[in-house]
Chains A and B, each alone.
Chain A
């Protein structure tokens, strides 16, 4: 599974309050796949996000069940901090911001 496919898969993880997936929100910074050992660097819209465990844990659970993936590590980082311009056009539209 290449990183583009993993990115596509991660679109199944939603921020339940905003109703937008984490890829379109611009929360996923980096995806590495080293022969089935996957490492994700991601952030959340704000430090102290009530959804911290749910979203990061959700991404981990989703990938763990995929064929060809041996291990998954999700790192939640605050640098660089998330900003609204990281959202895709779809996300902005969905939030009624356009």
Chain B
């Protein structure tokens, strides 16, 4: 299993580089402008669909093969999934950029079909393997939420072109974001971490009881939030969902600590450490969000606050974790492909030789520092600050993509 995950991951890296270049080229202009605009839709979906979902799909194909020790249901379906999803996403992005509502509607259908093919392939793989644990439960629910996110995205895309259900649009909009960010990315990352963290800490004998609690609480938060937004429930209902989510994040942090305590290896590597630190930061973010809802509900619902929380969650946790894990996934994929068949036939490099951990640490620290500055800039509403820190974030992200891409030359 090399080519399929590789295709997704290479395409995802290219999208990330494109996002960084377009952001730099316009001096981070899109970050300053209101998010619900063609530039906002384009850049956000380049990040969440072109980069994060693309990488995540590749990583799911890779991880399930490893966790289940079984082939995925169909590799061919995987390639069709890749082709349809990539063309759909490219067209959708072009539609957003060119403000062509018909394109948006047409390619939203294609991107969603790509998602459906992915969901079918993964569902059949999981059902056939019938190994249920927090990793497979979380992956299954994450994929289900991706399916719903795409479906709602499609409904909004059709609405742009044909105005079929205008009264529902706002409800769909918030539900779409909630399901995509907390449901799809949240459950996938936590599910993956139940495997990745013990593996890289060489942790032994950690019970998965807390992981079950995280999975249940996280799912409850996703469903409660989606129900609140879909029914346009009063604000306290959203507050309850955020409260549940905060509890889920705390228990996830607790599980992370349990794994770290059982370590038999001093350092898991800079990328995994980045994922752990960003998980700690997520506990702070969610606590602040929940406190704001409780004590200053009007300010918490303000667009600026929502944008800041979205950046802190999507970049501060989702993106940093994916970037960190990539420093393990990419060398692994490449090493097994290139050097695996040569084990036992003379000296070959180790994975650490493919990517220097020091550089991963430097660049990820720079990425995290510029993100922090950007979030402060958004808080202060200072355009100059946002532009400089946004540009720095793009520059360091680009440097990171180059660092990771260099693995393929080793």
Q: Which residue of B lies closest to A50 (CB)?
A: B66
Contact B344 A58 (CB under 8 A): yes
Most-contacted residue by chain A among B202, B264, B341, B344 (CB, 10 A): B344
Contact A96 B267 (CB under 8 A): yes
A68 contacts the other chain (CB 8 A): no
Contact B350 A19 (CB under 8 A): yes
B409 contacts the other chain (CB 8 A): no
A59 contacts the other chain (CB 8 A): yes
Contact B69 A48 (CB under 8 A): yes
Digitize A62-98: 1 where CB-to-B-CB distance is under 8 Å, 0 elsewhere.
1101000000000000000001100100001001110
Contact A16 B335 (CB under 8 A): yes
Contact of A97 among B66, B195, B264, B339 (CB under 8 A): B264
B343 contacts the other chain (CB 8 A): yes
A33 contacts the other chain (CB 8 A): no
Contact B344 A62 (CB under 8 A): yes
Q: Which residue of B lies closest to A62 (CB)?
A: B344
Contact of A96 among B265, B336, B343 (CB under 8 A): B265
A50 and B264 in contact, given A45-B202, A55-B343, A62-B345 (Cβ under 8 angstroms): no
**Interchain pairs with CB closer than 8 A, number:** 76
Q: Which residue of B lies closest to A15 (CB)?
A: B350
CA A95 to CA B204, docked complex, whole Å: 14
CA A51 to CA B65, docked complex, whole Å: 12
Q: Point out the residues of chain A lying under 8 angstroms from B209, CB to CB.
A: none
Contact B69 A52 (CB under 8 A): yes
A5 contacts the other chain (CB 8 A): no
CA A84 to CA B335, docked complex, whole Å: 25
Q: What are 22 A-B interface contacts by the 8 Å CB criterion?
A: A16-B343, A19-B350, A19-B352, A46-B199, A48-B66, A48-B67, A50-B199, A50-B336, A52-B69, A53-B340, A54-B336, A54-B340, A55-B343, A57-B341, A58-B340, A60-B344, A62-B343, A62-B344, A84-B202, A87-B264, A95-B266, A96-B266
